[in-house]
A and B are shown apart, each in its own frame.
Chain A
Amino acid sequence: GNSVTQMEGPVTLSEEAFLTINCTYTATGYPSLFWYVQYPGEGLQLLLKATKADDKGSNKGFEATYRKETTSFHLEKGSVQVSDSAVYFCALIIAAGNKLTFGGGTRVLVKP
C-alpha cells in the first residue's frame, strides 16, 4: 500500500532559523506530493505541491523538491517566523479524485 513517513515533532526553533521537515513515501505508482499546513484551531491549507520528479513546489518562502530516486519530499524554509508555528502534513495521491494519504504531521513551534 501507500504510506508517508515524516519526522516526528515537535520541532522548536527560534525566529529566523532554518527549518527542514523530512518526508519520505512509499507508493504503488507515480504519486503527486503535497505539503499541507494546519494552523492552531484551523483546517488544512494546501501549502505547496509537486506532480512529477524534480519538480519544486514553493509558497510563502517554503520549498520542497520531488526526489524520485530517494522517494522524498522534504520541506524547507530559510528563515521562519512566529506565524509559521503550525502542524505540517506531507501527503501523496496516486490519481486525481483518489484519497490523500497523509504522514503523521510535524508540529513546529517558532519562538521569538
Chain B
Amino acid sequence: DTAVSQTPKYLVTQMGNDKSIKCEQNLGHDTMYWYKQDSKKFLKIMFSYNNKELIINETVPNRFSPKSPDKAHLNLHINSLELGDSAVYFCASSQVYLAGGLSYEQYFGPGTRLTVT
C-alpha cells in the first residue's frame, strides 16, 4: 500500500530535453508538494497545490511547470533540461484539516533521481 508514489524512480536524459515526473498519493490528502534535494542533500520547496490550486511557487525557473489534474496527482514537467537540474525530486502530501484539528505532517514519496548529461 504505497502512500505517495513517484514515477520514474530514476531518469537519465540529455540537456535540452523535456521530461515529466509523476506523483500520486492514495492518502486522500488535499495538499501536495514538490521538493528538490541537491547533491549536498539540501532540501527546498518548489511548489505546492491545495485541491488543484497553486499555493506555493518558490523562485523556480519557469522551465518547471507543475500540473495537478486532480487532488491525488501532482506532476512536474521540466522543459529544456540543464545540467544544474540534476537532483532528487521528492513529492509529498498532507491533509491540513483533520477531525482533531490542524495537521502539520507531510508524507514523502521515494524520490526521483534526475541526471542530466
Contacts and interface: CB of A to CB of B under 8 A. Distances in A.
Interface in B36-55: 40-45, 48, 50, 55
B41 A87 contact: yes
A43 B41 contact: no
A51 B58 CA distance: 25
What's the dominant secondary structure at chain B's contact region? strand
Given A49-B104, A93-B104, A99-B56, A42 B110 contact: yes
A96 B109 contact: no
Contacts of B45: 99-100
A104 B39 CA distance: 11
Interface of B: 31, 33, 35, 40-45, 48, 50, 55-56, 58, 90, 92, 94, 96-97, 102-111
Interface of A: 32, 34, 36, 38, 42-46, 49, 51, 87, 89, 93, 96-100, 102, 104-105, 107
